[in-house]
């Protein structure tokens, strides 16, 4: 019996390697389509993605996979194998419910939709994208019904990105968070003390922004022997494997903040992937446990490190060595306050720390309505603008700055957006715990991020998917999700900056 289990484990690992070959090919194609691809080749490349995805789907739902699940879940004594089997079993049962031809059609639609979305955004033409989005919504409604749910159809999609989180949970947390944030925003708007954003103005050449971004990634501990930095329309990080984790950013020569903070953000994602335990390599466990935990890492680095006074105390001279000469005359205090200005904005990825979660709540409410059938795709531009006015007091002048700004719906990622707000709450909770063990401000001020990175790797990164998201939160902080840490952090920070 022992020999047969050892043989089964070996064959199971071989099957996983075969799956990973397809996954890596698909991810590399996705990176290429978002960064380098000639527009005329999108149609054919989408067919390639569809073919590869169909093959991967067949392996994940094969009788061979079913055999290994049945045998190894009962008899393997290897913890990594057992956890891997659990992960494969969840995927097997979900994917078996989707007909292979529908899955292939959906994957091809995703690839085409992302390209059409990019063109529609450039042309400010929602009508170009609308028919693709309608099909994506239809597919996601159909898949959610295949998978099944207890209370709300949207729960079936949330489970893809944040296991353990439901509409009921979000509808308890988000209203209170929104109330706290809007009250603080109102207090800030009444303050006579205002940062001066004009000190950040001026032409900042792309190549110089890139040089500074590369320098900061290196200081964060990003391994360039296992990654690279590229330019894209909508920034993302992508892990082909632990030795190839790529970061992208977007440059705006009139506003360096987009690239600098965007690069730090994506670098946080990359550090997570680069520091997953090597023993999980070539298994489905070699990945972030959820998009919320992943987002906690990127937002931790962007906000709880990159936007702090300690960070700029130690990195302002480095910044000025790459920045236009005009910054040499800007005092550090004025610069720090300016990069932390609170001002409602149209673009989510350019939002300040305080208003950022409000952007997420808008998207959550809209896509929840789309999936439940309460909202029609054609009504999205108007509803988007109404909610922007209600939540942030501003109305986007164009759809490119409104409903067309994010790539997520074009990629079919319904259920993803709540992870951003959840990740922000997780990050604040992790930060609170970390500060009990390490003098975080002192480490940031010294420019030595290694102890912080090592703490994150020890407590979060190394586990990959060995632990569920809420399990990690509980293990690290000794309590369940607690949004009050985020409220406390923002209140304390902006009370100082705006002298409330």
Q: Which burial class, exposed, middle or buried, applies to 225 when counting CB atoms under 10 A from its CB (0-12, 13-18, 19+)? A: exposed
408 is in an annotated binding site: no
57 is in an annotated binding site: no
Provide the sign of the torsion angle of the four alpha carbons 285, 289, 290, 292, taken in this order: negative
Best CA proximity match to 425, nearest among 288, 291, 293, 267? 293
* Ordered strands of the 237-241 beta sheet: 229-231, 244-249, 237-241
Known catalytic membership, residue 266: yes
Contact between residue 69 and residue 81 where contact means Cβ atoms under 8 Å apart:
no
295 is in an annotated binding site: yes
Helix (H) or strand (E) run with residue 336 in it: helix 332-339
CA–CA gap between residue 161 and residue 32 (Å, rounded): 23
Q: Which burial class, exposed, middle or buried, applies to 44 when counting CB atoms under 10 A from its CB (0-12, 13-18, 19+)? A: exposed
| Crossing angle between the packed helical segments 2-35 and 42-60, to the nearest 10 degrees | 160
Write the CA distances from 204 to 196, 210, 306, integer angstroms: 18, 10, 19
CA–CA gap between residue 208 and residue 325 (Å, rounded): 12
Contact between residue 73 and residue 86 where contact means Cβ atoms under 8 Å apart:
yes
- Return the SS3 of 142: helix
Task: Indicate the pairing of strand 244-249 with strand 237-241.
Answer: antiparallel
CA–CA gap between residue 263 and residue 44 (Å, rounded): 31
CB neighbour burial string for 118-148, b if at least 16 within 10 angstroms, e if fewer: bebbeeeebebbbebbebbbebbbebbeebe
DSSP states along 233-255: SS--EEEEETTEEEEEE---TT-
CA–CA gap between residue 256 and residue 450 (Å, rounded): 26
* 9, 114, 266, 309: the active-site residue: 266
Question: What's the distance, Cα to Cα, between the start and end of the chain in Å?
Answer: 71
Best CA proximity match to 130, nearest among 414, 404, 395, 408? 404
Place of tokens 């409104």: 402
How many Cβ atoms sit within 10 Å of the Cβ of residue 382?
Answer: 11
Indicate the annotated binding residues.
265, 269, 295
Indicate the annotated binding residues for Zn(2+).
265, 269, 295
Q: Which residues are designated catalytic?
A: 266
């Amino acid at each position: 019996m022992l020999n047969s289990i050892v043989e089964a484990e070996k064959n199971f690992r071989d099957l996983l390697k075969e799956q990973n070959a397809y996954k890596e090919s698909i991810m590399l194609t996705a990176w290429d389509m978002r960064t380098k691809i000639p527009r005329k080749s999108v149609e054919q490349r989408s067919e390639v993605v569809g073919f590869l995805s169909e093959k991967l789907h067949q392996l994940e739902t094969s009788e061979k996979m079913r055999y290994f699940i049945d045998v190894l879940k009962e008899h393997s004594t290897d913890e990594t194998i057992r956890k891997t089997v659990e992960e494969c079993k969840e995927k097997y049962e979900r994917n078996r419910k989707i007909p292979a031809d529908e899955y292939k059609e959906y994957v091809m639609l995703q690839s085409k939709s992302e390209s059409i979305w990019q063109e529609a955004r450039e042309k400010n033409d929602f009508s170009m994208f609308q028919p693709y989005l309608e099909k994506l919504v239809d597919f996601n409604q159909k898949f959610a019904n295949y998978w099944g749910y207890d209370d709300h159809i949207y729960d079936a999609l949330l489970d893809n990105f944040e296991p353990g989180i439901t509409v009921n949970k979000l509808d308890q947390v988000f209203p209170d968070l929104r109330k706290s944030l809007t009250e603080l925003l109102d207090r800030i708007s009444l303050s006579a003390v205002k940062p001066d954003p004009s000190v950040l103005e001026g032409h900042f050449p792309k190549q110089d922004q890139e040089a500074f971004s590369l320098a900061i990634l290196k200081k964060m501990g990003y391994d360039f022997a296992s990654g690279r930095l590229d330019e894209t329309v909508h920034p993302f990080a992508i892990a082909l494997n632990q030795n190839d984790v790529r970061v992208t950013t977007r440059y705006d020569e009139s506003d360096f903040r987009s690239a600098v903070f965007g690069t730090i953000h994506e670098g946080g994602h990359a550090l997570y992937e680069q520091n997953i335990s090597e023993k999980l390599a070539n298994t489905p466990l070699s990945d972030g446990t959820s998009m919320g935990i992943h987002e906690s890492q990127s937002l931790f680095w962007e906000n709880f490190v990159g936007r702090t006074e300690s960070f700029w105390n130690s990195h302002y001279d480095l910044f000025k060595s790459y920045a236009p000469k005009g910054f040499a005359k800007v005092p550090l205090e004025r610069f720090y306050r300016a990069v932390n200005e609170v001002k409602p904005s149209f673009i989510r990825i350019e939002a300040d720390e305080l208003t950022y979660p409000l952007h997420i709540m808008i998207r959550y409410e809209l896509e929840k309505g789309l999936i439940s059938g309460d909202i029609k795709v054609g009504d999205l531009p108007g509803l988007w603008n109404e909610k922007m006015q209600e939540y942030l007091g501003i109305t986007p002048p164009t759809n490119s700055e409104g409903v067309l700004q994010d790539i997520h719906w074009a990629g079919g990622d319904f259920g993803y957006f709540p992870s951003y707000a959840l990740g922000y709450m997780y990050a604040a909770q992790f930060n609170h715990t970390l500060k009990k063990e390490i003098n975080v401000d002192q480490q940031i001020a010294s420019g030595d991020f290694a102890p912080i990175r090592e703490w994150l790797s020890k407590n979060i990164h190394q586990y990959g998917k060995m632990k569920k998201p809420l399990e990690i939160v509980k293990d690290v902080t000794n309590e369940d999700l607690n949004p009050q840490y985020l409220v406390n952090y923002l209140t304390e920070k902006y009370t100082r900056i705006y002298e409330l």
